[in-house]
Structure 1
Amino acid sequence: MTLDTNLTEYILAYSDGDSVALDVIIEALYDQLKLAAAKQLNKLNPESISANDLVHEVYLKFSANQSFNANSRMHFMAIAATAMRQLIIDQLKAKKRQKRGGDLYATTLSDKKMPLNDNALEIISVNEALSKLRAIDPKLAQTVECRYFAGYTEQETAEALNVNVRTVRRYWSRSKRWLLLELSNE
């Protein structure tokens, strides 16, 4: 049996309610989760939260979640990326409520970095628009989560969504057009 096969068995066991399996999964994927967290934290000031802290927060979130449903390593990583995005958005909203900006950075829809205090509203708006997009086309919303929030490459997104790279390009193009239209209407 390969590592992926063993890991898939633990992921399926965790999906079936075996909470001990989560510890094995996190330990096996810890480095990958830290890398995914670091990509997402590219949007934040490193002083606000570390990649380790974000992975630990995801672990706590998964530990408390009773309705987890992943079926592979990449599917688990995609769900983890979504959880990281939610934690980051919560932190951004909290900072916005506290009327603090700081030297935070975010990736924009044009893949350029800019200070978060100039871009916090965009990230929060994209997150809210993502809910609308999910109701229209879940695959497009998952593509945005992987590409925009998780910083996944086209290949990583294709693996997470179980589609080919050309499909990811098409989804990403459609998603960006929809988001730009939706955000311009706000």
Structure 2
Amino acid sequence: MNEPPITQLLADAARGDQAADTRLVAAVVQRLEQIARREMAGMNQGRVDGLTMEPRMLAHDALLKILERPLEFENRRHFFAYATQVMARAMIDYQRRRQAQKRGGDQLRVTLNEVSDEIDVDLSHVPKVLKELEALDARKAELVGLRVFWGASMREAAELLEISESTAERDWRFARRWLAARLAEGDDRAPQE
């Protein structure tokens, strides 16, 4: 039996259909676990062993939060972008608590390979800087989320955003430069464009 598309499951779940909730979880949890595993490894120098939070737990917690307060999502892109934000916030909170306990509050430094290989990024600045990019250009911010958090290829991201691949490439080049400059600053000044 073919499952309905994710967008239909999302609409059914938002209307309170509990069977749709179950089918939705089955349809998306594996992809959310992949995203969580990759992001957790990125935050921990390529390792997820020794962490008390597991990718599966992170994905399931995100789904529970989403299903607790059903929202109407425009499409699967909107759902995955929202779920990724929920997981990113949970990972940041987890890392803050972990670092505060383990090292007296030292902040975790990571490299966001999809943004820049040359700079170390203070994880606590990422949500604020992404919000700034979203205010500047929501589509570019969404592209960053799809590429960095969801792991979408340029082709997949362009398709999800309903833009041409060449437009996605241009947006990606701008967003990478802007984010790299903004994250390298580490203060409240906006980068020069």
**Paired residue for 1:144?**
144
- Computing the radius of gyration from Cα coordinates, the structure with the larger value is 2
2:111 and 2:117 in contact (8 A); partners too: no
Q: TM-score, normalised by structure 2?
A: 0.74
**Paired residue for 2:90?**
87
- Greater relative CO (CA pairs within 8 A, separation 6+): 1
**Paired residue for 1:107?**
112
Moved over 4 A (4+): 16-20, 103-106
Task: Mark the CA change 1:163 to 1:93 in structure 2 (over 3 Å): closer, same or farther.
Answer: farther
Higher helix share: 1
| Post-superposition CA distance 1:127-174 (Å, at most 9, x none) | 211111112211111122222233332123223323332222122111
Superposition RMSD on alpha carbons, in Å?
A: 3.0
Please give the alpha-carbon distance, in whole angstroms, between the structure 1 residues aligned to 2:132 and 2:110: 25
Task: Mark the CA change 1:22 to 1:162 in structure 2 (over 3 Å): closer, same or farther.
Answer: farther
Identity %: 26
**Paired residue for 1:9?**
8
Please give the alpha-carbon distance, in whole angstroms, between the structure 2 residues aligned to 1:50 and 1:106: 21
Q: TM-score, normalised by structure 1?
A: 0.77
Where do 5+ consecutive residues of structure 2 fail to align?
188-193
Where do 5+ consecutive residues of structure 1 fail to align?
none
1:78 and 1:160 in contact (8 A); partners too: no
Please give the alpha-carbon distance, in whole angstroms, between the structure 2 residues aligned to 1:21 and 1:104: 40
Deviation at 1:84, TM superposition (A): 1.6
Work out the number of aligned pairs and report it: 178
Deviation at 1:124, TM superposition (A): 2.0
